[in-house]
Structure formats: structure tokens, C-alpha cells
Amino acid sequence: MSPPLRVVIVGAGFGGLEAARTLARARRAAVEVTLVDRQNHHLFQPLLYQVATAALSPGDIAWPVRSIFRRRRNVTVIMAEVTGVDAKARQVRTREGLVIPYDALVLATGTTHSYFGHDGWAKVAPGLKTIEEATEIRRRLLLAFERAEIAADPIEQRRLLTFVVVGGGPTGVEMAGAMVELARHTLRREFRRIDPAAMTRVVLIEAGPRLLPAFPEALSDYAHRALVRMGAQVLTGTRVTGCDAGGVRCGDRRIAAGTIVWAAGIEATAAGAWVEAERDRAGRVKVAPDLSVPGHPEIFAIGDLAAATDAEGRPVPGIAPAAKQMGRYVGRLLAARARARGAAAGAPRVRASAFAYRHQGDLATIGRRSAVVALGKVRLTGLIGWWFWGIAHIWYLIGFRSRVVVSFEWLWSYLTFQRGARLITRPAPPSRQAPPAPERG
């Protein structure tokens, strides 16, 4: 009897998690899965902006990976940071000193922020990819109102109450709309020396000619008009050329701001370099039709890390449904390989059909009772689009509890205009942080 196929999956995002779940459920396939991630949780990134704007708590959109696979005996979860891959020896190496052998490797490490060569901007303009970044943005956002309340200088008050979002994609549009709602509705009666509803200025900056460039132009125009009606200032065709603690610079124009959020660009993690794969300008791995790395049929790249194309040669977008489809495809492919491996000698080799991406639509919410949805030729806006957006996101949440909690939080916020996660947290001082792990050697 052949030994189980050892599959190592790096990354517990949408793609990696779906690949692991598909393999865990595979029947008559002898597979041992090792899922490695530097975090202990899976994060529902599409709702991360709601953590950053105090609408939801981190626990509402994140789940411990171990709990997801607690009943799957063929899945081992390891919390570690992968630093390299020895493709010849078929081993994954981690910063903690672990060496994990594999028969098949799935890289699903996703993307990180791109500051287009200005990495120093990251300190003053955090992006929105992790819970830590979301809570840091929430801290800066809420602290700006507190500091404006006690500021004696009107110019400083205006700077503190100016919030800049760089990038007009779905994250930027949703973030800008949520900021406006926080100031105009939630905080409007809670301060005495400032008027958040009247004094807050939210500026959304997009370098391209329109917001939501992946959406039909009519929906982009709708989103633009809706944000302006809410009270946001939208600057399209405007490129940020400078960024510091006091604000941003766009050519000769200076915008003084107390809080800056970066939603303008992404680049793939270093996983492609681990296996010396060919990559595009954003660092994404150029994959074969079956999502494997050319020259390495046992290594796959999925999700945002993969530069894949659909049946018509168009790039597969870096969105959650695409990552889940890739993870499901690779999981089924490896399960078929495991079954063939356990079959009698001389069994035909598994030949996989090319990955076929099915686009399920584009969605973005703008604010209360306003969203844009593109489903093929169907276009939804306003309240109907908002309801569709909400139901779709509730559906993709993991677990009954999360669906109930998020639904209740949204209903409560809709009826009362209140947000229940408005905590200003600070990093623990060095003396209270966990001691470093002992060095090996």
C-alpha cells in the first residue's frame, strides 16, 4: 500500500483554506495535509474595513484555524512563518527552525501592500490586510476625534479631522463611506467642543480616471456621486507624490490630514522567489493552466499569488471567490493524484483539465443603504444592491455564530446608528510583551 500523499499548504487565506477543506473531505484519497500560517486565524478580509471603522470586532470576522479542522484528523495546523522552500529536496523551512517535507506544495500566501517604491510611507499610511492593521487604523481614527476635542488651534482641529484614503478600488470606496458615516451619524452628538458631522472631511484620492475601475463605468459613476452626496470629497486623476505624518502631497497640492489609509496598490509576497518561479511586475507567479509552477508539477500557486488567466485570456481578479475556486480546483486535483497513487501499478496518470474561472460578480458597498453590484448583465444599486451585498457577505462567513453576530451587529447599527467596537487600544509596552522565543542552535 502506498504511503499517504503529503500536501503542505502555506497560507490559511481563502485559497489555502479551501484547498485544505477540499482535501480533508476527499473520499478514498490517502492524504496528509499540513497547513502552515504565521497567524493562528483565518480572516474574512472583505469586512476588515468594518473593524477599522468600529462597526465590527475582530472576533466577528476571524476564526482560529485549528477549530475549523478540529474534526479532520488528516489535517495538521502549524503556526509558523515560512522563510523558504527547497524544491529539490521537497522541504519547507520556517523561521522557527522547522523542516516540513512534502510530496505536493500549495503556495497561497496572498499579497501585501505596494507603496510604489516609497516603503517609508507605510508608517504614516497603513494598509488594510490584517487585524493588527485594522485595529491600528481604528485607533488612529478614533484618537483623531479625541485630540481634536482638546485642541486649542482651529487649524490643528481641521487637520486632525481630515481623513485621507488613497486608492479608489472597493476597499478605498468602502473605507471612505464608512468614515463619513462614523462622523456624520455615530459621533455627531458625543463631543462638546467639536461637531464631527460638520467638521469632518473625508478625501478619497484615485490616480486613475474613475473609481472602481473593474466595475462597469455606470456603476463607477454612481459610486462617485453617492460618496459626494454623503459628504466625501473625491479626487480622481490625482496621484499622491508625498506622504508624511502631517498629510499628503499631490503634485503642487498639499492636503493636511491627521489620518491616512493606504488602499492604492498591492504586490505578491516573496513566495515566488522561494521556488525561483517566473513572476510578473507585481511579483505574482506565472502559473501553468493547472495552476502549477512551470517546471515543478508538484508545486502550485493559488489566490492573489497566482498570475492566472481565464478561458478568454483575461487575468483572474484577486478576489475571494477566485481564490476559493483555485483552492477547490487544486484540492480536487491533488485528491485525484492521491487516489491514482494508491491504485494498482500501471494505472493511468491523472491528467487535469485547465483551471476554469467563473466570475460571480463584483460588489462594493458605499454606505448606509447604498451599494453597487455587477452580476453579468445585471446591475444593482442603492438599497437593493446594499441588501444583496450584505446577504452575499453573510453567506461567505464561516460558522453559524459569526453569521448571527454580524447580522445582529448590522441590524443594530442600522436602527440606532451606533457602533459597538469603538475601543482605542495601544500597543503593549516592551516590558509587558511576550518574551522572545529562545534561539535554536
Q: Which residues are catalytic?
A: 174
Q: Please, are residues 139 and 52 in contact by the beta-carbon 8 Å criterion? A: no
Question: Looking up cell 487600544, which residue turns up?
Answer: 425
How many whole angstroms separate alpha carbon 438 and alpha carbon 141? 37
What distance in Å separates the CA atoms of residue 338 and residue 30, rounded to the nearest whole number? 6
**DSSP codes, 155-182:** HHHHHHTEEEEE--SHHHHHHHHHHHHI
Sign, Cα dihedral of 12, 17, 20, 24: positive
Mapped onto helix, strand or coil, the DSSP state of residue 317 is coil
Exposed, middle or buried by CB within 10 Å (0-12, 13-18, 19+), for 375? middle
Query: By C-alpha distance, which of 315, 279, 281, 318 is closest to 302?
Result: 318
Report the C-alpha gap between 53 and 58 in whole angstroms: 11
Which residue in 296, 306, 242, 243 sits closest to 271, CA to CA? 306
Cell of 123: 508608517
Question: How far is residue 23's CA from residue 227's CA, in Å, rounded to a whole number?
Answer: 43
| Closest to 224 in 3D by CA, of 389, 366, 361, 373 | 366
Residues 6+ apart with CB under 8 A from 229: none
Which amino acid is it at 210? R
Note the Cα 423 to chain centre separation in Å: 22
Reduce the secondary structure of 1-48 to three states and give it as a string.
Answer: CCCCEEEEEECCCHHHHHHHHHHHHCCCCCEEEEEEECCCEEECHHHH
> What long-range pairs does 57-60 form, CB within 8 A, spacing at least 24?
57/420, 57/421, 58/131, 58/134, 58/135, 60/402, 60/405, 60/406, 60/409
